[in-house]
């Protein structure tokens, strides 16, 4: 067992993690722990752009951006956070440009901008060109640029180290009003070195979680195989609540059957969605901005078309993304990668043929609750000193119930930077929290259990069944019945998970073993998501209940907070405590959301 | 400029009846997958394993590997992440050519013969298809793959014309998968050559109008293990899953070093 | 790094370094080369290659096409050519360029295919020695060539070029 000591430990080396590392690495002794080589992170899969009100091509300002973000999130957005993000977006883009990011340029040599779903001028009057981009590889460029700058600043990476436990301690503390509570403090993390199979403990004053999302809960997803909710599950197991987990974004244009992402930029550049009759159906759902409506609306509209029998293809189970009316040179210049995906994976030529698309699980709006300093909250108010989270794993909440396109690249840059700065700042004055006795015990036991299990359950089977049931019951349309079905299935799968077995018993690069652990994370998070969805008896943003099709501000203008707590039961599921947290309003009153 | 979203009559562009088969009609076929295995914990020598699998028309080599790992033999080990060709985790030698497993459709290979999968060459194999990537990233780090600009930072962005931006566009696409470097016969010999990937990433900065350190990078690549070891075999260009003209980039760097010396 | 971190366990203090610092020594470049030898060599290959095309084709043309063609080549013909300083220079250039071009090509091949440093050293030593021998020998021949050889009786050898008549007499 090796113990390493660092001022700041960053978990995850995607956009948020590396953005934090660039800040923290220059201020404090920092290590980045990542289960993938940094450039493999899924930030690189983002395509369309990163919004900031630079007003390089059209009149724009950050206040409009804030409004769009709030409205896009169906008013479940914490408006102070949205303001911070929209305001700092401008610097975030300029920072990246100065780090060397090769943005597309206007003829004058400034950063070019394009239209994107839900981004409008003057509070919804018309679509605005706000997304700064580099062809349809903006995420790739961001990831590469951040990695390049980590190399520049000699950031210390521990590649292929899986963080398997968050070490926290609890102390008695007293509030100002004299009441007592348990204050959590972070001491470090337990990691597993994939190459050697050895455990390493990292003791740290600050820990930044930037572990990304949970897309692999679903079968059809644009997410990487490695996005298995690790960070959320670890925080949850350590007694930290999870906020708004019912809100999952389904990206409208995933390649049908595969889920591979085709950027919203395709519609930003003029692409049109059509049903089997060739009708531009978005005109019926969002008369003003049509195909550039926010993703939840478009995804639902597509699913609705298919349900009503207007789907295309032999099984009538997808719709078309039509780019054929655009100039081929324009498509090749602005959307080179996604057209290649269509050619490679579906043998469809986007210049002349419509591309089959269907919604694909894309993004978790919820996650580990943080404040605008990226500090993790252990309940509605109390901060866990030294613990930070940024990116998809966190819920600030800037995305509310539905994230606008491009706002995730923005989120990782704005809050990644903040997390890095505040984590280093905290570490400069704080002391190390003493490690508890044998902090690795839990992980060791888990690993031993999996290695020595005599069960007969296979990881892949359970995972596939989980993904099937989630796709079937928890996708864009949900109802009490379907959610109940998902919950029952998850309960069954969690039982079977106890009898799981792995074939690879070795120490070296044992990915078989880690897939089993990741499945544990997925099951936990699927359960939390489903319970949370059951509890929210309204439709808002990415969460649509057929039995409650309207938004209900009176009862549900609140964030959901779910705690792992053995003494409680929520929606018939033992061990989960449900609570709510008020939404922060600054300037915008909730209105009906129409586009 | 964005093309305005003008309404078009769908019938004029799309014959929906004909385009109906898009992703739907999926044929099924049998393949033999033959993988070179290595696990020093089990045995010192590498060995070959073969599996017969039934796969579908849209399946990729990665799907076949997953099918084995998930349904047959959990010890089969390989790296993968995004599964659509942008993370660069799963570069491997497929039928003797460096490819990303997630971008190689089975139906595009000759399925009448076994599909042969090996780890990429030239880097130390750690287990099955996993190689040690550190030497590869070390070369990458040595060419200073980051922008260096010593002029005062402007408040807004640094200006760069679309033409200047276009100059290095091709090499910004690199995903560091190592398919090129591990396809290079010169690299196979002794691993001393910087390799195509490092040069491509140097190219990306050398030809960026905003960067000031082009000279330093050219000096680094003027090393005896630098660009002059390139024999223009074009293996790298052929291997690149991103379609980067790697050999051309290397030649451009050679020209730049020469021009600078004269 | 802050002062409070002084007790941090760093790799230097006995803990195995993270893998990002661990590289198979085989891949470490021994030392950065100084100067631009490889660049000069690269340019030389292209320039000498182009020059050799001219040198060799003129050589072939003058030897094989002009006059009686291939049938004219004998001792006298060669001696006749080397009596002319232009041809002396021509052949000298051809010799040097061809040898250096070929040797550098071989050097490259050895670099690319010999995997062990010792093998490389041996092969290259032999190569350079052979190259040096041939260049020196060739140069000597061109400059010390005696066209008008006499037999024991003091008469011109019968394959001597015609201009020897005047020289001897």
Residue pLDDT, tens place only, A213-224: 999 999 999 999
B241 shares contact with chain C (CB less than 8 Å) = no
> Residue B191 is part of a domain; what is its CATH number?
1.10.1060.10
The CA distance from C40 to C46, in Å, is 10
| Residue B156 domain-assigned (yes or no) | no
Domain boundary among A319, A342, A359: A359
- Do residues A184 and A240 make contact, with C-beta atoms less than 8 angstroms apart? yes
The CA distance from A253 to A292, in Å, is 12
What is the mean pLDDT of the segment spanning A9-17?
A: 97
Give A457's DSSP letter: E
CA distances from A130 to A61, A72, A253, A406 (A): 9, 15, 20, 10
- Among chain B residues, CA nearest to A129: B2
Average pLDDT over chain A, rounded to whole? 95
| Residue A506 domain-assigned (yes or no) | yes
Say if the Cβ atoms of C27 and B191 lie within 8 Å: yes
Say if the Cβ atoms of C20 and A2 lie within 8 Å: no
Reading phi first (left if > 0) and then psi (alpha if -120 to 50, else beta), residue A239 is in left
Say if the Cβ atoms of B84 and A314 lie within 8 Å: no
Q: Is A484 annotated as a binding residue?
A: no
Q: How far is A388 from chain C (nearest CA, A)?
A: 19
Residue B21, pLDDT above cutoff 50: no
Contacts of A232 (CB under 8 A, 6+ apart): A211, A214, A242, A245, A364, A367, A368, A393, A521, A525
- List the one residue out of B184, B195, B34, B44 whose CA is nearest residue B121: B184
B144 shares contact with chain C (CB less than 8 Å) = no
Residue A487: predicted pLDDT:
97
Q: Which residues pair with A44 in a beta bridge?
A: none
Q: Which CATH code of 1.20.1300.10, 1.20.1630.10, 3.40.605.10, 3.40.1390.20 fits the domain covering C38-168?
A: 1.20.1300.10
The CA distance from C98 to C92, in Å, is 10
CA dihedral A512, A513, A515, A518 (to 10 degrees): 180
Residues B141, B251 within the same domain:
yes
Q: Around A142, how many Cα atoms within 13 Å sit in the side-chain half-sphere?
A: 37
The CA distance from A440 to A431, in Å, is 21
- Among chain B residues, CA nearest to A132: B157
Q: Which of A318, A345, A502 is facing B74, going by the closest CB pair?
A: A502
**Cis amide linkage into residue A397, ω under 30° from 0:** yes
Per-residue pLDDT of chain C (169 residues; tens, 9 = 90+): 333 333 333 333 333 333 545 777 788 887 666 678 999 999 999 999 999 999 999 999 988 888 888 888 888 888 888 888 999 999 999 999 999 999 999 999 999 998 888 999 999 999 999 999 999 999 999 988 888 888 887 788 777 777 777 765 5
Residues B32, B87 within the same domain:
yes
**Residue C81 in tokens:** 């050519």
The CA distance from C100 to A30, in Å, is 54
C8 shares contact with chain A (CB less than 8 Å) = yes
Residues B217, B228 within the same domain:
yes
Judged on CB neighbours under 10 Å (0-12, 13-18, 19+), A591 is: exposed
Q: Is A499 annotated as a binding residue?
A: no
| Residue B10 domain-assigned (yes or no) | no
A130, A346, A347, A513: which to substitute to probe chain B, counting the most B Cβ within 10 Å? Answer: A347
| Residue B5 domain-assigned (yes or no) | no
**Residue C114 in tokens:** 């010999």
How many domains are contained in chain A?
2
- Do residues A159 and C19 make contact, with C-beta atoms less than 8 angstroms apart? yes
C14 shares contact with chain A (CB less than 8 Å) = no
- Do residues A7 and A28 make contact, with C-beta atoms less than 8 angstroms apart? yes
| Residue B109 domain-assigned (yes or no) | yes
Say if the Cβ atoms of A158 and C8 lie within 8 Å: no
Residue A556: predicted pLDDT:
96
Least confident of A82-91, A509-518, B2-11, B215-224: B2-11
The CA distance from A440 to A442, in Å, is 6
- List the one residue out of B59, C2, C46 whose CA is nearest residue A427: C2
Contacts of A449 (CB under 8 A, 6+ apart): none
Tens-digit pLDDT profile for residues B159-193: 999 999 999 999 999 999 999 999 999 999 989 99
Reading phi first (left if > 0) and then psi (alpha if -120 to 50, else beta), residue C61 is in alpha
Say if the Cβ atoms of C1 and A157 lie within 8 Å: no
What is the mean pLDDT of the segment spanning A319-326?
A: 95
Contacts of B258 in chain C (CB under 8 A): 39, 43
Residues B142, B249 within the same domain:
yes
- List the one residue out of C125, C59, C124, C62 whose CA is nearest residue C92: C59
The CA distance from A287 to A291, in Å, is 9
| Residue B1 domain-assigned (yes or no) | no
**Residue B198 in tokens:** 């490092």
Residue A26, pLDDT above cutoff 90: yes
- Residues of A marked active site are found at 295
Q: Which residues pair with A225 in a beta bridge?
A: none
- Do residues A292 and A267 make contact, with C-beta atoms less than 8 angstroms apart? yes
Residues B76, B64 within the same domain:
yes
Residue C31: predicted pLDDT:
67
What is the mean pLDDT of the segment spanning A375-380?
A: 96
Q: Note the helical H segments in A349-440.
A: 407-429
Q: Around A470, how many Cα atoms within 13 Å sit in the side-chain half-sphere?
A: 32
- List the one residue out of A192, A292, A242 whose CA is nearest residue A515: A192
Contacts of A369 (CB under 8 A, 6+ apart): A240, A241, A242, A243, A376, A377, A394, A395, A397, A559, A561, A581
- Do residues B23 and A260 make contact, with C-beta atoms less than 8 angstroms apart? no
Name the residue range of residue A312's domain: 251-359
The CA distance from B232 to B248, in Å, is 9
Tens-digit pLDDT profile for residues A380-439: 999 999 999 999 999 999 999 999 999 999 999 999 999 999 999 999 999 999 999 999
CA distances from B132 to B42, B62, B119, B233 (A): 19, 20, 11, 25
Count of positions (residues) in chain A: 595
Contacts of C20 in chain A (CB under 8 A): 156-159
Question: Which subunits count as partners of chain C given 3+ CB pairs below 8 Å?
Answer: A, B
Tens-digit pLDDT profile for residues B51-106: 999 999 889 999 999 999 999 999 999 999 999 999 999 999 999 999 999 999 99
> Residue B44 is part of a domain; what is its CATH number?
3.10.20.30
> Residue A260 is part of a domain; what is its CATH number?
3.90.700.10
Residues B95, B211 within the same domain:
no
Q: Is A36 annotated as a binding residue?
A: yes
A375 shares contact with chain C (CB less than 8 Å) = no
CA distances from C146 to C73, C75, C78 (A): 17, 11, 11
| Residue A396 domain-assigned (yes or no) | no
Q: How far is B177 from chain C (nearest CA, A)?
A: 17
With H, G, I as helix, E, B as strand and everything else as coil, classify residue C135: helix
C22, C23, C38, C45: which to substitute to probe chain B, counting the most B Cβ within 10 Å? Answer: C38
Q: How far is C36 from chain A (nearest CA, A)?
A: 27
**Residue B123 in tokens:** 């880097």
Q: How far apart are the first and last CA of chain C?
A: 95
Say if the Cβ atoms of A431 and C4 lie within 8 Å: yes
Q: Which residue has the tokens 């993938």?
A: A36
Which C residues in the span 31-60 are in contact with B, Cβ-Cβ below 8 Å? 32-33, 36-39, 41-43
- List the one residue out of A457, A9, A500 whose CA is nearest residue A206: A9
C166 shares contact with chain A (CB less than 8 Å) = no
| Residue A69 domain-assigned (yes or no) | no
DSSP-derived secondary structure for A16-43: HHHHHHHHHHTTS-EEEEESS-GGGSGG
CA distances from A180 to A172, A175, A177, A377, A435 (A): 7, 6, 9, 17, 24
- List the one residue out of A206, A235, A231, A230 whose CA is nearest residue A23: A206
B85 shares contact with chain C (CB less than 8 Å) = no
List the strands of the sheet with A319-322, edge to edge: A248-255, A355-364, A319-322, A272-274
| Residue A536 domain-assigned (yes or no) | yes
> Residue A481 is part of a domain; what is its CATH number?
1.20.58.100
Residue C15: predicted pLDDT:
36
Residue C2: predicted pLDDT:
36
Contacts of C11 in chain A (CB under 8 A): none
Tens-digit pLDDT profile for residues A154-208: 999 999 999 999 999 999 999 888 899 999 999 999 999 999 999 999 999 999 9
Residues B174, B126 within the same domain:
no
Domain boundary among A359, A387, A402: A359
The CA distance from A190 to A264, in Å, is 39
Residue A127, pLDDT above cutoff 70: yes
Confidence of residue B26 (pLDDT cuts 50, 70, 90): low
Residues B142, B51 within the same domain:
no
Judged on CB neighbours under 10 Å (0-12, 13-18, 19+), A582 is: exposed
Residues A445, A535 within the same domain:
yes
Say if the Cβ atoms of A140 and B86 lie within 8 Å: yes
Domain boundary among B131, B154, B189: B131
Residues B56, B140 within the same domain:
no
**Residue C159 in tokens:** 């394959």
Q: Is A386 annotated as a binding residue?
A: no
Contacts of A158 in chain C (CB under 8 A): 18-20
The CA distance from B14 to B25, in Å, is 19
- List the one residue out of A497, A442, A436 whose CA is nearest residue A465: A497
Residue A119: predicted pLDDT:
95
Domain boundary among A324, A359, A394: A359
What is the mean pLDDT of the segment spanning A473-500?
A: 96
Q: Is A35 annotated as a binding residue?
A: yes
Residues B69, B80 within the same domain:
yes
Residue C17: predicted pLDDT:
36
Q: Is A46 annotated as a binding residue?
A: yes
Contacts of A278 (CB under 8 A, 6+ apart): B10, B11, B14, B16
Contacts of B10 in chain A (CB under 8 A): 274, 278-279, 322
| Residue B36 domain-assigned (yes or no) | yes
Tens-digit pLDDT profile for residues B202-211: 999 999 999 9
Q: E-strand spans in A289-328? A: 319-322
Residue A6: predicted pLDDT:
97
Q: How far apart are the first and last CA of chain A?
A: 57
Name the residue range of residue B62's domain: 28-131
- Do residues A510 and B75 make contact, with C-beta atoms less than 8 angstroms apart? no
Residues B49, B63 within the same domain:
yes
Q: Is A139 annotated as a binding residue?
A: no
- Among chain B residues, CA nearest to A128: B2
How many domains are contained in chain B?
2
Determine the distance from the C-alpha atom of residue A376 to the mean position of all C-alpha atoms in its chain, rounded to a whole number: 16
Residues B139, B116 within the same domain:
no
């Amino acid at each position: 067992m090796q113990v390493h000591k660092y001022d700041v430990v960053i978990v995850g080396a995607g956009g948020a993690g590396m953005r934090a590392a660039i800040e923290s690495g220059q201020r404090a002794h920092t290590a980045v722990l990542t289960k993938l080589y940094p450039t493999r992170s899924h930030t690189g899969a983002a395509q369309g752009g990163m919004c900031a009100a630079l007003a390089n091509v059209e009149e724009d300002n950050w206040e409009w951006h804030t409004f769009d973000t709030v409205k896009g999130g169906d008013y479940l957005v914490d408006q102070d956070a949205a303001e911070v993000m929209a305001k700092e977006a401008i610097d975030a883009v300029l920072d990246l440009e100065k780090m060397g990011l090769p943005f597309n340029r206007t003829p004058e040599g400034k950063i070019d901008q394009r239209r994107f779903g839900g981004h409008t001028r003057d509070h919804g009057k018309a679509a605005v060109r706000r997304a700064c981009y580099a062809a349809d590889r903006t995420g790739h460029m961001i990831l590469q640029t951040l990695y390049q700058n980590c190399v520049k600043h000699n950031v210390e990476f521990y590649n292929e180290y899986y963080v398997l436990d968050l070490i926290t301690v609890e102390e008695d503390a007293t509030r100002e009003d004299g009441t007592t509570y348990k204050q959590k403090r972070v001491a470090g993390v337990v990691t597993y070195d994939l190459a050697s199979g050895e455990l390493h403990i990292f003791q740290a004053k600050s820990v930044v979680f930037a572990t990304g999302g949970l897309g692999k809960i679903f079968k059809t997803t644009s997410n990487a195989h490695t996005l298995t909710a690790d960070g959320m599950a670890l925080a949850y197991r350590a007694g930290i609540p999870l906020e708004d987990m019912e809100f999952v974004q389904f990206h409208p244009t995933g390649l049908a059957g595969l889920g591979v992402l085709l950027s919203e930029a395709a519609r930003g550049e003029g692409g049109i969605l059509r049903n089997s009759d060739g009708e531009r159906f978005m005109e019926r759902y969002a008369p003003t901005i049509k195909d550039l409506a926010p993703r939840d609306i478009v995804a639902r509209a597509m699913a609705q078309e298919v349900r009503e029998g207007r789907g295309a293809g032999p099984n009538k189970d997808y719709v078309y993304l039509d780019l054929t009316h655009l100039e081929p040179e324009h498509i090749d210049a602005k959307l080179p990668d996604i057209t290649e995906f269509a050619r490679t994976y579906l043998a469809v030529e986007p210049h002349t043929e419509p591309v089959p698309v269907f919604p694909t699980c894309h993004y978790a709006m919820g996650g580990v609750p943080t404040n605008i300093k990226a500090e993790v909250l252990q309940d509605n108010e109390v901060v866990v000193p030294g613990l930070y989270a940024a990116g998809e794993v966190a819920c600030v909440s800037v995305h509310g119930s539905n994230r606008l396109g491009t706002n995730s690249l923005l989120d990782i840059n704005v809050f990644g930077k903040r997390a890095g700065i505040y984590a280093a700042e905290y570490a400069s004055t704080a002391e190390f929290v003493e490690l508890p006795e044998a902090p690795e015990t839990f992980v060791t036991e888990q690993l031993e259990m999996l290695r020595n299990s005599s069960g007969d359950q296979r990881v892949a089977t359970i995972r596939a069944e989980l993904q099937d049931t989630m796709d079937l019951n928890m996708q864009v349309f949900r109802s009490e019945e379907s959610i109940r079905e998902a919950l029952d299935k998850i309960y069954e799968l969690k039982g079977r998970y106890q009898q799981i077995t792995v074939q690879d018993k070795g120490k070296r690069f044992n990915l078989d073993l880690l897939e089993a652990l990741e499945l544990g994370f997925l099951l936990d998070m699927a359960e939390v998501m489903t319970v949370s969805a059951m509890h929210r008896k309204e439709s808002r943003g990415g969460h649509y209940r057929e039995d409650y099709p309207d938004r209900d501000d009176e009862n549900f203008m609140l964030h959901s907070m779910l705690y792992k707590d053995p003494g409680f039961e929520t929606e018939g599921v033992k061990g989960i405590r449900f609570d709510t947290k008020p939404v922060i309003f600054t300037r915008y009153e909730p209105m009906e959301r129409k586009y | 400029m964005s093309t305005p979203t003008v309404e078009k009559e769908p019938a004029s562009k799309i014959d929906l009846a004909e385009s109906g088969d898009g992703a739907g009609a999926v044929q099924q076929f049998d393949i033999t997958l033959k993988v070179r295995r290595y696990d020093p914990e089990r045995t010192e020598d590498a060995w070959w394993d073969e599996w017969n699998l039934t796969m579908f028309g849209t399946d990729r080599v990665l799907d076949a590997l997953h099918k084995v790992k998930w349904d047959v033999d959990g010890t089969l080990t390989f790296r993968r992440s995004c599964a659509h060709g942008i993370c660069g985790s799963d570069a491997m030698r497929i039928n003797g050519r460096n490819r990303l497993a997630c971008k190689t459709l089975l139906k595009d290979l000759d399925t009448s013969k076994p599909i042969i999968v090996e780890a990429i060459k030239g880097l130390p194999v750690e287990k099955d298809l996993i190689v040690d990537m550190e030497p590869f990233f070390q070369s990458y780090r040595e060419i200073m793959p980051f922008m260096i600009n010593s002029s005062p930072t402007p408040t807004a962005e640094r200006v760069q014309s679309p033409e200047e931006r276009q100059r290095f566009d091709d090499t910004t696409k690199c995903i560091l998968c190592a398919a090129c470097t591990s396809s290079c016969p010169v690299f196979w010999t002794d691993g001393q050559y910087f390799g195509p990937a490092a040069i491509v990433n140097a190219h990306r900065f050398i030809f960026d109008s905003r960067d000031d350190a082009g000279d330093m990078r050219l000096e680094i690549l003027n090393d005896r293990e630098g660009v002059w070891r390139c024999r223009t075999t074009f293996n790298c260009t052929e291997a690149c899953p991103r379609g980067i003209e790697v050999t051309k980039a290397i030649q451009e760097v050679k020209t730049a070093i020469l021009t600078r010396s004269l | 790094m802050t002062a409070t971190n002084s007790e941090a366990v760093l790799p230097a203090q006995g803990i195995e370094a993270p893998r990002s610092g661990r590289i198979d020594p085989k891949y470490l470049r021994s030392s950065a080369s100084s100067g631009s030898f490889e660049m000069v060599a690269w340019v030389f290959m292209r320039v000498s290659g182009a020059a050799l095309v001219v040198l060799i084709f003129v050589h072939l043309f003058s030897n094989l096409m002009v006059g009686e063609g291939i049938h004219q080549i004998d001792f006298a013909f060669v001696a006749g050519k080397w009596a002319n300083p232009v041809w002396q220079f021509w052949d000298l250039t051809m010799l040097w360029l061809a040898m250096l071009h070929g040797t550098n090509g071989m050097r490259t091949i050895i670099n690319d295919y010999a995997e062990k440093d010792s093998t490389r050293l041996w092969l290259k030593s032999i190569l350079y020695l052979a190259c040096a021998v041939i260049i020196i020998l060739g140069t000597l021949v061109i400059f010390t060539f005696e066209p008008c050889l006499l037999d024991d009786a003091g008469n011109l050898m019968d394959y001597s070029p015609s201009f020897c008549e005047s020289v001897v007499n």
